C-alpha cells in the first residue's frame, strides 16, 4: 500500500490537514464548551444542549490558544500517563 514509512506519514499529514480545514468551531451557550466538527452538530458533546451556535472570532482564537497549549503539553510528554481518547 505505502512504499515507505515516509510516504505513509506524508499521506497521514495530508489527511489531517484536509480534515482540519473542513472543521468548523462551535460553541455551546449553556456550558460554554468549544469544539470542532466537520458538519453541523446536533447537540453539545459535553452537556447535550441542542442550542449550538457557530463560535465567534474571539471564541475561535481562544479554542486555538488552548489547542496549542495541549499540543505543546503532549509534545513534552505531560499527557503520556493518561489513556488515549479519540478526538
Ligand atoms: Zn454544552
Domain ranges across the chain: 24-75
The parts of the chain modelled with pLDDT lower than 70 are 1, 80-87
CA distance 21 to 30: 27
The confidence score (pLDDT) of residue 84 equals 60
Q: Is 26 exposed, middle or buried (0-12, 13-18, 19+ CB in 10 A)?
A: buried
Using a cut of 0.75, tell me whether the model's pTM lies above it.
Answer: no
Neighbours of 6 (CB within 10 A): 9
| Ligand 1 center–CA 55 separation, angstroms | 13
| Ligand 1 center–CA 49 separation, angstroms | 5
| Ligand 1 center–CA 78 separation, angstroms | 27
| Ligand 1 center–CA 50 separation, angstroms | 8
The confidence score (pLDDT) of residue 1 equals 66
**How is residue 74 written as a grid cell?**
503532549
Grid cell 490537514 is found at: 17
| Ligand 1 center–CA 67 separation, angstroms | 18
Amino acid at each position: 500500500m505505502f512504499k515507505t514509512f515516509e510516504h505513509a506519514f506524508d499521506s497521514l499529514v495530508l489527511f489531517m490537514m484536509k480534515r482540519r480545514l473542513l472543521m468548523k468551531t462551535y460553541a455551546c451557550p449553556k456550558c460554554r464548551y468549544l469544539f470542532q466538527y466537520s458538519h453541523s452538530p446536533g447537540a453539545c458533546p459535553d452537556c447535550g444542549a441542542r442550542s449550538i451556535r457557530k463560535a465567534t472570532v474571539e471564541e475561535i482564537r481562544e479554542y486555538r490558544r488552548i489547542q496549542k497549549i495541549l499540543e505543546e503539553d503532549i509534545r513534552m510528554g505531560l499527557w503520556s500517563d493518561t489513556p488515549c481518547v479519540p478526538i
